[in-house]
Amino acid sequence: AKEAAPTSKQVLFDFQMDAEINRRQQLQRDLRTALEDNELTLAYQPILNLQSQSVDYFEALLRWKHPIYGNLSPLEVIEVAEQYGLAHQLGCWVIDESCRQLSEWRAKGFDSLSISVNISPSMYRMDLSGTINDALSKNGLAKGSLGIEVTEDTTMQSIKEADKMLGKLIEEDVSIALDDFGTGLSSLSHLQQMHVQTLKIDRSFIHDIVSNPTSSALVNNIIAIGHDLGMKVVAEGIECEEAAKILTNYFCDYGQGYLISKPLAPKDVLPYLSA
Ligand code: C2E
Ligand code: MG
Ligand code: MG
Ligand code: MG
C-alpha cells in the first residue's frame, strides 16, 4: 500500500521535533564545555524568617547564560543533564560552588548564614552524603552548614533508596527540605515516614491565597500538618504584602518570593544583608 502523504501538520510536528532534538544535543555539548570552563553561576534567593523578620539562609539556584539561547531555565538545563549523564557532575559543581561561596561569606563575618541546594534525582544513585562532606571539609565548613531540597517525585521514584539516603544525610547533619510540596504524588503517610525537617509549600498554592478562601484554608492546614509532624514550613512564591501577612498569621516559619527578593547575583548578597 502506498503511504499517505504527510499532512502539513505532521511536517510541522516533525520539524519541531527535529529542532527540539537539535537544541538538546547542542545544549548537551555546550553544557560539557560550560562545566569545564566554569561558565555556570548560582543565584541566591533569601529565605526570610517570617517570625523574626531575619534572613537565615539562601536557596542556591542554577544560572546559565548560553551564548546563543541566552538565559536558560534551570529546569531545562537539569533535564538535559539528566538525559545525557551529566547530572552527577553538575550536581557536584552546585554543591562545591555553594560551599565555596558560603565559606567566603562566613569569612567576611556572616557566620550564621547557610545555603540550601536543589538535588536532582540521579544524585541519589551516588554517595551524596560523601560528596557533601567532602565539599564542606574542603572549604573549612562545619557539618550542618549546607541543606538540600528534594522534590516529592524524586523521592517517590524509589522510596526505599531515597529514604535510606535521606536517613544517612540526616545522620550527617544535612537538613532536608521537601520542595514544591503539594504538586507531587506523595501521600500524607509517606510524609510522616520521610526524614525531612522542612516543608516548602509550592507557589501554586500561595499565588491566590489572598483572593481565594479555599487556597488560604488549604495552606493554613498544610502549615498545621507540617508543624504536627515537627517540621518547619516555608511558603514559596510570596509576591505581595497581604500574602506575607496571612502566612505570618498562620505561623508559617519562613517565606520566599519576589516580595522579599528576587534571586540575587553573588555580588549583591552581602549588600542585601547589610542594607
Ligand atoms: P524551586 O527549587 O522550587 O525554586 C524556586 C523557583 O521559583 C526559582 O525558579 C525562583 O526563581 C522562583 N521564584 C522565587 N520566588 C518567586 C516568586 O515570587 N514568583 C515566581 N513566579 N517565582 C518565584 P528558577 O530559578 O527558575 O528555578 C526553577 C527550578 O529549577 C527550581 O525550583 C528547581 O526545581 C530547579 N533548580 C534550580 N537550580 C537547580 C540546581 O542547582 N539543581 C537542581 N537539581 N535543580 C535546580
Ligand atoms: Mg528548591
Ligand atoms: Mg521550590
Ligand atoms: Mg516550586
Residue 68 makes CB contacts below 8 A (sequence gap 6+) with: 26
Say whether pTM exceeds 0.90. yes
Pocket of ligand 1 from Cβ distances under 6 Å: 45, 61-62, 73-75, 78, 94, 118-120, 149, 179-180, 203, 236-239, 256-258, 263
The whole-number pLDDT of residue 19 equals 82
CA distance 257 to 246: 14
Which grid coordinates belong to 175? 537538613
The whole-number pLDDT of residue 149 equals 95
The pLDDT tens digits of the residues spanning 77-102 come to: 999 999 999 999 999 999 999 999 99
Ligand 4 centre distance from Cα of residue 204 (Å): 8
Burial class (CB in 10 A: 0-12, 13-18, 19+), 118: buried
The whole-number pLDDT of residue 158 equals 66
The answer to whether the CB of 134 falls within 8 A of the CB of 141 is no
Residue 119 CA, closest ligand 1 atom number: 44
Q: Is the pLDDT of residue 1 over 60?
A: no
The whole-number pLDDT of residue 162 equals 77
Helices (runs of H) and strands (runs of E) counted in the chain? 11, 10
CA distance 91 to 25: 20
Provide the angle, in degrees to the nearest 10, between the axes of the packed helices 74-83 and 87-107. 130
The whole-number pLDDT of residue 3 equals 65
The pLDDT tens digits of the residues spanning 118-169 come to: 998 788 778 899 999 999 999 999 999 999 999 877 666 666 777 788 888 9
The ipTM is 0.98
Residue 275 makes CB contacts below 8 A (sequence gap 6+) with: none
